[in-house]
Structure 1
Amino acid sequence: MSKFIRVRAGLLRETHPGERRVALTPDDVGRLSERISFRFERGCGVGAGHSDDAYIAAGAEPVDFAEIASSSDLFVSVRQPIATRAFPATSVLLFLGWKTAPIAIPPTGQQPLHLDIARLSGLPGLKGADISSGQAAITGHAAVLEAARQFGISHPMLMVDGSFVRPVKMAALGSDPASLQALATARRLGAVTFGFDLGNDSQARIERLGAKFLGTSPEQELGRLRRELSGPLSKVQLITTNVMNPDRTAPVLLDEEMLSQLSPGTVIVDLASESGGNCALTRADQTTDIFGIRIIGSTTLASQEAAEASRHFSDGLRNLLEHLIDAHGALRLDGGDSVTAALLDEGSPARHASS
């Protein structure tokens, strides 16, 4: 195959309201330029601090969406493109979604092939493949900083006249990368931290971060959480939640009765808001004020650190593209390859694509 036959890739501008990240930085576009011919949607990197001129200097061509859609084989983005955006039926879309959500493999010739990068989470042997965990950690860090801002504090261990102000109490419900990073960030800021999760295997991860573990057994945990929030944790001031069930809406951990028992001024950041939320009153992309507490349902917290989040996302995506696209510039989706099998969800039939 000729070395000059290269995948024609389209770098998309994000369409989710408030999303400022970009899937590839100009530096990584330049590194991939020998294998891939890039077109980019104008303004795609502005929110993350990358100008159109920087992408042009890296060898990419600026175009509008209509042109990028008609002239590309592979489309990359941070989030799954909105349904109103039409792509060629033979193309491939690569984005970060939810590994627990089913992705239907459409019949050949009807719709583009959707590949969810989140399905690579925990896959060994591919450098930088676990993009979702990195983005989750950034989200957890941003959640604590946002909660502290909403709570009206700049540092939980502020010293006044030689004495420390009483430290803030913070609880993280969940032991995923976002929740663990939230605990670590709060701990670094001097907060007294507590961790809760629906499983015994999370205790070691939570306690390694210096937090007190609240979970017991799956049958007792919700009752234990209710008792803790009405007793020892009744004065908790910052809470992050991120507990989800595969292929289902997120479980409600904080019902209205439990929320009403929290101290006025408490701030909750519900990181499961896109899946329905762990709080009974969470609304995605909204902030709810009730019982004197504030529930933040933002789905774009990683965008508060868009430049760093994009750098990490781009680094992982570059490694993934270097794995999927050979030295001749051809995209090979081989179901026998563990990475491709994971992207296709347990080895569903792959479509082979090349320019």
Structure 2
Amino acid sequence: MTVAVAVTRERREGEARAALTPDTVKTLIASGATVTVEAGTGQGSSIPDSAYVEAGAAVAPDLQTVLAGADILLKVRCPTAQEISALKPGAVVVGMLDPTRETATIEALTAARVTAFAMERVPRISRAQVMDALSSQANLAGYRAVIEAASAFGRGFPMMMTAAGTVAPAKVFIMGVGVAGLQAIATARRLGAVVTATDVRPATKEQVESLGAKFLAVDDEEFRNAQTAGGYAKEMSAEYQAKQAALVGEHLKKQDIVITTALIPGRPAPRLVTADQVATMKPGSVLIDLAVETGGNVEGAQADQAVTTANGATILGFSNLPARIAADATALYARNLAAFVGLLIKDGALAPDLEDEILKAALVTGEGSA
């Protein structure tokens, strides 16, 4: 008996990633699974159908054929209604399901008696590091944010000394120093910018400084206790936010590029930069908002649009930066998924242990879930 794993083409607009690569197909086959991939699945990540076939997967021409008899469906984003209806009861779906916002999809999965696991909910413990899709994708998002900023900025990043004069380095300010923020700092530094960063978690100060950037924050008692046991930022009090806003407001006036990455799991993104603050920035300055999909850190940011303000600043809101570096994002995410699927298959059969702390945390529909 083998476990039938299916991978379908992502149908959400702008989603270029795929759930598996040929290398991870080989990993799953070695674990006792068969793999069927919908034709065109890897097109956005530069993976031809023939590469999946060479790795041992079957390539099917349509959705119904791919999902016929599937035990596990692997996704990047939520499955569509058509995909859910084609799944048999008892099947398993694994992907970035965004359960706090995609409530209709979760309800549909529950009604279809499908067990679903959200990769965003994989706990941040040592054993689960290889499955941490949030981190793998955020790392690439931070890198790509700087590349997008450099493309939109009308000047260079590094100091350049020429016979005609000296070009000053760009000033880059990173707001939110998680995985994406740290990679943004490192990338901006590599390009030669002068980098400052801020975060409400005191533990990030040392990380920022280790990358050669300067840390900016109101250092008081609330700041020193502003991190959850899981390593996430707490929502700060109105009083602290006012003090931090005043400090940041003065700093923003001098910046060329601002990249915001602050997210609070399960809640709207915190507002970090107001319209009044944007109005004080220099003409030609660029703001990149990585949290625009959950409400945005920058007032006035629009998802996947460039907004030019009256003072000549540009606000760019990217809802899916990893898809702009799809080949690498797919490679990393597919390894996250393959490692997770390893917890679902035992002795060639689908046998998830729902008492396992990783599976228990990631479970959103199915036995034992709400």
* Mapping of residues 102-113 of structure 1, within 5 Å: 110-113=112-115
Tell me, what secondary structure is at the counterpart of 1:145? helix
Contact 2:109 2:365 in 1 (8 A): no
The structure that is helix-richer by fraction is: 2
CA distance in 2, matches of 1:200, 1:210: 17
* Worse overlay, 241-250 or 98-107: 98-107
Question: Residue 314 and residue 164 in structure 1: after superposition, are their counterparts in 2 closer, same or farther (change >3 A)?
Answer: farther
Residue deviations 1:267-304, cap 9 Å, x none? 11111011010111111222212131111111222122
User: Shift in Å at residue 224 of structure 1?
Assistant: 4.3
What stretches of structure 2 of length at least 5 have no aligned partner? 224-235
Question: Residue 201 and residue 243 in structure 1: after superposition, are their counterparts in 2 closer, same or farther (change >3 A)?
Answer: same
Contact 1:121 1:132 in 2 (8 A): no
The residue type paired with residue 340 of structure 1 is L
- The answer to whether 1:75 aligns with 2:73 is yes
Residue deviations 1:74-122, cap 9 Å, x none? 1112222244543424322111244876976879663423211121151
CA distance in 2, matches of 1:65, 1:33: 21
CA distance in 1, matches of 2:64, 2:178: 39
Question: Residue 192 and residue 56 in structure 1: after superposition, are their counterparts in 2 closer, same or farther (change >3 A)?
Answer: same
* Worse overlay, 192-201 or 82-91: 82-91
Q: Which of the residues 199, 203, 206 maps onto 2:205?
A: 203
* Worse overlay, 96-105 or 76-85: 96-105
Contact 1:230 1:262 in 2 (8 A): no
CA distance in 2, matches of 1:109, 1:253: 39
The residue type paired with residue 314 of structure 1 is A
User: Shift in Å at residue 208 of structure 1?
Assistant: 2.2
Q: Which of the residues 38, 54, 58 maps onto 1:57?
A: 54
Question: Residue 302 and residue 266 in structure 1: after superposition, are their counterparts in 2 closer, same or farther (change >3 A)?
Answer: same
CA distance in 2, matches of 1:167, 1:67: 55
Structure 1 counterpart of 2:42: 45
Structure 1 counterpart of 2:91: 91
CA distance in 2, matches of 1:15, 1:159: 48
- The answer to whether 1:10 aligns with 2:39 is no
User: Shift in Å at residue 178 of structure 1?
Assistant: 0.6
> Normalising by structure 1, what TM-score?
0.88
Tell me, what secondary structure is at the counterpart of 2:126? coil
CA distance in 2, matches of 1:6, 1:287: 49
User: Shift in Å at residue 229 of structure 1?
Assistant: 4.6
> Normalising by structure 2, what TM-score?
0.85
Residue deviations 1:179-216, cap 9 Å, x none? 11111111111111111123333322222222222222
CA distance in 2, matches of 1:96, 1:264: 38
User: Shift in Å at residue 11 of structure 1?
Assistant: 0.8
Residue deviations 1:138-193, cap 9 Å, x none? 00000001111011345433443397521111011112111111111111111111
* Worse overlay, 140-149 or 257-266: 257-266
Contact 2:186 2:211 in 1 (8 A): yes
Question: Residue 266 and residue 17 in structure 1: after superposition, are their counterparts in 2 closer, same or farther (change >3 A)?
Answer: same
Question: Residue 253 and residue 23 in structure 1: after superposition, are their counterparts in 2 closer, same or farther (change >3 A)?
Answer: same
The residue type paired with residue 135 of structure 1 is Q
| Backbone CA RMSD of aligned residues | 2.7
Structure 1 counterpart of 2:176: 174
Tell me, what secondary structure is at the counterpart of 1:323? coil
Residue deviations 1:309-346, cap 9 Å, x none? 21111222222222321232x22222221121121269
Question: Residue 184 and residue 337 in structure 1: after superposition, are their counterparts in 2 closer, same or farther (change >3 A)?
Answer: same
* Mapping of residues 210-249 of structure 1, within 5 Å: 210-216=212-218, 217=223, 218-219=236-237, 221-249=240-268
* Worse overlay, 57-66 or 94-103: 94-103
CA distance in 2, matches of 1:121, 1:144: 28
Structure 2 counterpart of 1:259: 278
User: Shift in Å at residue 233 of structure 1?
Assistant: 3.5
The residue type paired with residue 295 of structure 2 is G
User: Shift in Å at residue 127 of structure 1?
Assistant: 5.4
CA distance in 2, matches of 1:207, 1:230: 21
**Equivalent residues, number:** 346
CA distance in 2, matches of 1:161, 1:38: 61
Identity of paired residues, percent? 32
- The answer to whether 1:33 aligns with 2:29 is yes
Question: Residue 349 and residue 107 in structure 1: after superposition, are their counterparts in 2 closer, same or farther (change >3 A)?
Answer: farther
